[in-house]
Amino acid sequence: MEITSLQNAQVKKWARLKQKKYREAEGRFLIEGMHLVEEAGKAGLLTHILCTKETVPPCPDIPCTHVTRAILDKITGSVSGSDIAAICRFPDRSDENASRWILLDRIQDPGNLGTIIRSAYAFGYDTILLSEGCADPYNEKVIRSTQGALFHLCIRSCSLPDAVNDLKQHGVPIYATALHKDSIPLAQLSVPDTFAVLFGNEGQGVSEELLAMSDATLFIEMERFESLNVAVAAGITLYEMKQKRHP
């Protein structure tokens, strides 16, 4: 099957998936580019592939529609001239067996959120809880920054104070990151097997409410007293906690 008209009703329906409300209504999201389509295929999330006639799609079992490059640009809203895109179902992963959690408090920048998800996957985390006010993880910029890592993780939005209360009732210590000099230097932390680590908003850091609920606050020692980009701070924290568990 091939579609060549930009006015085609199905093209308009696919293009709507750029908006969160349609993603949620249809339980589907949109990805673009061969690398992401391959990663979504490995994770079993593809429902439909859209590509130019010249492109060989990676998963022969998945329904595929040939479209023009102009249609791909319209659907994805990008100008990068991709020759493949796909529609995916949301991952349906449980955090029932999780032993380590990443909690994100109002991470607003899509690039930062995606980069943190990418690092989380690389450092062996499986569960990320997002507060209200975080960027939507199925936003196209977030997905691109994750390089596909989010297809493999359990990522859900919730009330972080409720989640923290719940974790504490199960004996899980909560470590918040902060710039306070009276926090524990990250390098001096003894890292248990089970814990949750909490990163906060780009400008304001972790909310006072969540800081007060945390078991300890950590800070990253620098040479000059400056702040770091939150995705960099998260990367350093996840790296150091991994080194401490498995030196």
Binding site for a copy of itself (CB under 8 A): 111, 115, 118-119, 121-124, 145, 147, 149, 187, 220-224, 226-229, 231-236, 239-240, 242-243, 247
Asked if residues 105 and 198 have their Cβ atoms less than 8 Å apart, the reply is: yes
Closest CA to 55 of 46, 39, 40, 66: 66
Q: Is the Cβ of residue 57 or residue 235 nearer to a copy of itself in the bound state?
A: 235
Q: Is the Cβ of residue 115 or residue 214 nearer to a copy of itself in the bound state?
A: 115
Q: Can you give 41-94 as a three-state secondary structure string?
A: HHCCCEEEEEECCCCCCCCCCCCEEEECHHHHHHHHCCCCCCCEEEEEECCCCC
Q: Is the Cβ of residue 60 or residue 247 nearer to a copy of itself in the bound state?
A: 247
197 DSSP 8-state letter: E
22 DSSP 8-state letter: H
Q: Is the Cβ of residue 4 or residue 227 nearer to a copy of itself in the bound state?
A: 227
User: Which residues, 6 or more positions from 167, have their beta carbon under 8 angstroms from its beta carbon?
Assistant: 101, 174, 196
Q: Closest separation between CB of residue 12 and a copy of itself, Å?
A: 27
Q: Is the Cβ of residue 17 or residue 112 nearer to a copy of itself in the bound state?
A: 112
What's the CA angle centered on 30, arms 25 and 32, to 5 degrees? 175
For residues 26, 32, 35 and 39, what is the CA-based torsion angle, rounded to 10 degrees? 0
CA–CA separation, 66 vs 26, rounded Å? 22
Q: Closest separation between CB of residue 204 and a copy of itself, Å?
A: 14
Is beta strand 100-105 parallel, antiparallel or unpaired with respect to 195-200? Answer: parallel
CA–CA separation, 17 vs 222, rounded Å? 42
Q: Is the Cβ of residue 187 or residue 212 nearer to a copy of itself in the bound state?
A: 187
Q: Closest separation between CB of residue 99 and a copy of itself, Å?
A: 13
Q: Is the Cβ of residue 67 or residue 102 nearer to a copy of itself in the bound state?
A: 102
